[in-house]
Amino acid sequence: MAKYVSIIMVMAGLAIFSSCADKGKSVPETTNIIIDNTTPKGKDYGAYLAGRVAHLRKDFNSAADYYMQSLKNDPNNSELLGRVYVILASQGRIDEAAQFAAASQKKGDTNNFTHIIIATADMKKGFYPQALNSLERMGGNPVYKEFITPLLSSWIYAGMGKPDKAIAALNNLNKDPAFKGLYHIQAGMIYDYFGKNAEAQKNYEVIINDETTEMSFRALQVITNFYIRTNQKDKAVALSQKYNDDKLLVDMLSNLAKQNEAANPNSTQAIIDSADIGYSDALFNIAANMRQIASGTDIAHIFACLSVYSNPNNELAKLMLADILESREMYADAIKLYDEIPQTSLTYNSVQIKKASDYVMMQDYEAAEILLQSLVEDNPNNFQINLDLGDVLRLREKYSESIPYYEKALKLMKKKDINTWVIYYALGISYEQSGNWPKAEETFKKALEISDNHYFVQNYLAYSWIRQGKNMDEAMSMIVDAYHQAPSDGHISDSLGWGLYRIGKYEDAVTYLEKASEYEPANALISDHLGDAYWQAGRKDEAVFQWKHTLKMKDDTKEVDMDKVKEKIKNGLKKPQILPHDEKQINELLQQLSSSEEETEDNSEAETK
């Protein structure tokens, strides 16, 4: 990992979505889309301003088009020229990006990425000498000499039909132990491409036999494909069955294993049947390594686009690119990429699950439900699909319908770990909302046990008890513990305050309900609770204000009876029945809270000083 950190640092001149291109100066790297406040020199500002608006809205294709229009009126604007080729590359418009990168070079742009874009476009056209020339013209940063250039130039030489030079170029990677796995998979692919099976197998098996070298899904695909084509199907089947995953990758691994078992060696085609595919894989590997570093997202974005351009059928590159788009909250764009994946793909189910997740992020729960329902019909024993469908149905408040899918997901889990509590928690909510409190209570207690008393579960279970007016001592103890874990969670402060209200501790209730209101000012239930506490504490004007405020808000909890709120505004509130509780225990809990608050204040004062 340290190797990749150093690589990222020397690539600080490449800020993909920043407002300017590198002109020989170091530009700080960023993963954010930044719009500057400067206006370029030129005659027409309209297209430029429209581009800035599109840029800000993450509509990068439109931004590029507007910027190019602006360049027609301001062709000598080198800053804007640099911005255009970067945005075009980020949208996979590599041929256009290469033209603007070449124009930018003529105006003195020394950004090494111009050479990579141009080399990739030349490689695609079969202009191998020109592509090599572009790579050789890059600056001397170690990342280019030790990492990028060896990978890319090796496949350019492969395209030229020069296996010895391809391996010689790649040998630079073999000098660094950090690149051991990458070297051997790429070398194996080059030998494989040229039909040098003995050399290919030797390199592939370094990866298989070295436990310190990670086996990627792509490497597994390529190596098992090689074994099948060389009449070693038993090795392919054994290798593909060796790896497993309980999460999203399980479908891809399972599908690959099934494909290998059914494969006919006589009709199995090579995966790497052109230098372009190898070059695309090299770009994908660069993107994958950059993606491991948070500050490398922008760079990974571009390399993933270059990879897809070099091989439009590179599904793993599309998945990575979609994942990057999702990290930028560009869910509709990610869905467009997923729609390009054919149903015959090993990745299809995994892609559809991701697509459904994007619908959820866009709050299009109906589309997510329709998609997941169709998937579960074809894959009834898929853990992730059952779990996601349960989540979507719960989000759509179809609680009773969600329960069977959660229950099946739990049965399908091969390994239950500490994170399993989340499923039990969601299932408990569905039981509770469906009116089956005994099952809900049992399930919440299971979630508490697994999660080591996570405050989400503590809060939900304890608040449910308070609403039912039972187990007050246990409920209050549980909520105080949750509050210690998450004192800034408005919902927990509300539960604590409401619990104190139900046992007649009105002044204390006001303290925590006010805090809850500060954290959640638009929450109708919290506002209603605070109004009740104010009234019982003798602060009647403030109570009426809170109740009126409640009427203006939407109640997502469906707990607030707005007619009763109107009645309270008109006639006030009677003294409620105080729930049974252990006064001594409650006072001890209040003392704990007081001591905790004082300690927090002391720490804050010390930090201020």
pLDDT of 292: 85
pLDDT band of 142, cuts 50, 70, 90: confident
Cβ atoms within 10 Å of 211's Cβ, excluding its own: 7
pLDDT digits (tens, 9 = 90+) for 427-472: 999 999 999 999 999 999 999 999 999 999 999 999 999 999 999 9
In three-state form (DSSP H/G/I as H, E/B as E, the rest C), the secondary structure along 242-297 is HCCCCCCCHHHHHHHHHHHHHCCCCCCCCCCCCHHHHHHHHHHHHHHHHHCCHHHH
Mean pLDDT, residues 39-66: 76
pLDDT of 39: 47
* Cα–Cα distance, 326 to 25 (Å, whole number): 31
- Which of 59-73, 129-143, 413-427, 473-487: highest mean pLDDT? 473-487
* Residue 26 reports pLDDT greater than 70: no
* Cα–Cα distance, 378 to 128 (Å, whole number): 46
Mean pLDDT, residues 85-91: 92
Contact yes or no for 208/201 (Cβ under 8 A) = no
Cβ contacts of 49 within 8 Å, gap of 6 or more:
none
Cβ contacts of 584 within 8 Å, gap of 6 or more:
none
Average pLDDT of the chain is 88
pLDDT band of 607, cuts 50, 70, 90: low
Query: Any long-range contacts for 375-380 (C-beta under 8 Å, 24+ apart)?
Result: 375/349, 376/405, 379/251, 379/349
Q: Which residue has the higher pLDDT, 556 or 597?
A: 556
pLDDT of 245: 56
Contact yes or no for 487/519 (Cβ under 8 A) = no
Mean pLDDT, residues 528-539: 97
pLDDT digits (tens, 9 = 90+) for 484-533: 999 999 999 999 999 999 999 999 999 999 999 999 999 999 999 999 99
Cβ contacts of 317 within 8 Å, gap of 6 or more:
280, 283, 284, 287, 304, 307, 308, 311
pLDDT band of 145, cuts 50, 70, 90: confident
pLDDT of 599: 67
Residue that the structure tokens 């124009």 belong to = 103
pLDDT of 18: 36
* Cα–Cα distance, 88 to 104 (Å, whole number): 13
Q: For 58, left (φ over 0), alpha (ψ -120 to 50), or beta? A: left
Contact yes or no for 189/281 (Cβ under 8 A) = yes
Mean pLDDT, residues 26-51: 49
Mean pLDDT, residues 263-272: 94
Cβ atoms within 10 Å of 479's Cβ, excluding its own: 29
Nearest Cα neighbor of 43 from 80, 65, 70 is 70
* Cα–Cα distance, 507 to 501 (Å, whole number): 8
* Cα–Cα distance, 494 to 509 (Å, whole number): 9
Name the percent of the chain lying above pLDDT 90: 70
* Cα–Cα distance, 308 to 305 (Å, whole number): 5
R_g over Cα of the chain: 30
**CATH class, 1-111 region:** mainly alpha
- Enumerate the CATH 1.25.40.10 domain ranges in the chain, comma separated: 1-111, 453-579
Give the predicted TM-score (pTM) of the model.
0.82
Question: What tokens does 182 get?
Answer: 């990458």
In three-state form (DSSP H/G/I as H, E/B as E, the rest C), the secondary structure along 327-359 is HCCCHHHHHHHHCCCCCCCCCHHHHHHHHHHHH
- Which listed CATH number (1.10.3720.10, 3.40.50.720, 1.10.10.10, 1.25.40.10) goes with 453-579? 1.25.40.10
* Residue 419 reports pLDDT greater than 70: yes
Mean pLDDT, residues 299-304: 94
pLDDT of 602: 55
